[in-house]
Chain A
């Protein structure tokens, strides 16, 4: 049904917006793995998104790497950073992971801003190549031709849609697996899980890595769509916004995270008629939703059960 959207609404700006929201959906699903499934707080998620974007930008500008090869590389590099940051932080209390990732997020942004020789500093990297695909053509005879995605958001919309479907499928399978159950067990009661023989640190680290990988993919798509990356696209506010999407949609629920991203992604546009007041209203809505539906819009049964218990120190 979603695939029909461009046919029904031909406004190019809406399509562009929908594609942008699609990237939010990918990010929210990725962050949900860490926050929703593993119960770990990542406040620097934008950094992994940024790394993915810059990796593809650099590959494209210096090595003319095609998008389809750049995509997995971006994901893997982001995942590598995820392991490096996660390893020391995951061992200690949950709050510390939050703060380490927050610091990491800022360091990455500032580094991209200051390493002008490689990253173009605040001006960013421009001229990133758009994805190209072999498309069937008809020039007197049937053949295939390598064509670029071009300026229209349409191909990006479908690219993002396909990615969302693939990632969602993968995450559903993952959550039904032994790994997924181990994650939930850790989130519910870490001590009990480790007594059951679950390798807590490895499982958490794995979740962190998967989440960073997804952010890297999203970054690569983002860079290819914008054709420009600048450090200020990856600020702390973005990390916070994605987190808000996950929590708002319902932690631990794959479609919940996606829904949160759709709502928060489109809300500023819907509120556009309130002009200057829209971000004010945005803030108020965030507060109201949390007060009246603390488990999020699609909060799962499991989470709801957990919610009835009061907060424990050091969780």
Chain B
């Protein structure tokens, strides 16, 4: 295989890796927007908290069960991070958004900014303002698939993300809660009339979205090997872009939007200029909004959550 093709595949792989993480965060933005029409700016911070929880889980695992296989540590850190972030998501909704259910969207937007400031600074106070190094718990082996080499952590990111996306699609389609989410997003009053409690469903949406963001945060931390308290901001912004790109409110849209954004960014950074990659992301968004304002999958009303 030629070196040029090899490089291309490598760049594609890099893009897909970060795209998967974007997709996991974007799902939370899109679900919350679908249900209550709020741009939850604090969602990027939930992702960041998820990454720190993963780090905490690694510390805990290392001090209480030294020498356990990395697979178990991995499972523990993901579950730990999901659980912590779910609680956080529920709390944010209850404290910062529920009292404002009948206020204009902008008011809730400001509280979400307040939550964002709070979480960033709380994490900074707890873990320090320094970049935190994440121990390499996943072995650094590389697998040859055809001519390209994939790291174990990349395989992990792909399998976990894709698995979660399938689960979420199934959950929204088939479970009672999932159906209720769709109902609330279609018409909250009508949903209430048929006996759905919007508050419970909205809380469930926040919990689900936060758990997914936490997984994204854990994978992000493991992949880059370090984490900082402002990492939530840019990742959140990108994921939000991905959600709009895919069509805000649409679950498959967020997945496709996230992955495409990652690939677009990876290829742009690899072939044009790595300094301008964030610009590519936002230009892409602008172009989509100009030519297809509802986002690439925005017409998919039946899947709206």
Are A279 and B117 interface neighbours, CB within 8 A?
yes
List of B residues within 8 angstroms of A106 by Cβ: 237, 278-279, 282
Please, which residue of chain B has its CB at the minimum distance from the CB of A303?
B104
Are B105 and A96 interface neighbours, CB within 8 A?
no
Are A110 and B278 interface neighbours, CB within 8 A?
yes
Are A244 and B113 interface neighbours, CB within 8 A?
yes
B233 within 8 A of A: yes
**Interface size of B in residues (CB-CB distance below 8 Å):** 47
Q: For the complex, what is the distance from the CA of A111 to the CA of B119, rounded to whole Å? A: 29
Q: State how many angstroms separate the Cβ of A187 from the closest Cβ of chain B.
A: 11
| Interface of A (DSSP majority class) | helix
Q: State how many angstroms separate the Cβ of A34 from the closest Cβ of chain B.
A: 12
Q: State how many angstroms separate the Cβ of B204 from the closest Cβ of chain A.
A: 20
| Residues of chain A from 265 to 306 with CB closer than 8 A to chain B in the complex | 276-277, 279-280, 282-287, 290-291, 294, 306
B212 within 8 A of A: no
List of A residues within 8 angstroms of B122 by Cβ: 280
| Interface of B (DSSP majority class) | helix
Are A92 and B293 interface neighbours, CB within 8 A?
yes
Q: How many A residues touch the partner, as a band?
A: 35 or more
Q: For the complex, what is the distance from the CA of A152 to the CA of B3, rounded to whole Å? A: 60
Are B106 and A287 interface neighbours, CB within 8 A?
no
List of A residues within 8 angstroms of B117 by Cβ: 279-280, 282-283, 286
List of B residues within 8 angstroms of A240 by Cβ: 41, 113
Contact mask A89-113 → B, CB, 8 Å, 1/0? 1001101101110111011001101
29 A-B contacts (beta carbon < 8 Å): A35-B106, A89-B289, A92-B289, A99-B241, A100-B285, A100-B286, A104-B286, A106-B237, A110-B278, A236-B233, A236-B237, A240-B113, A243-B109, A244-B110, A276-B121, A277-B125, A279-B120, A279-B121, A280-B117, A283-B114, A283-B115, A283-B118, A286-B111, A287-B118, A290-B110, A291-B111, A294-B103, A307-B104, A315-B105
User: Which residues of chain A have a CB within 8 Å of any CB of chain B?
Assistant: 35, 41, 88-89, 92-93, 95-96, 98-100, 102-104, 106-107, 110-111, 113-114, 236-237, 240, 243-244, 247-248, 251, 276-277, 279-280, 282-287, 290-291, 294, 306-307, 310-311, 313, 315
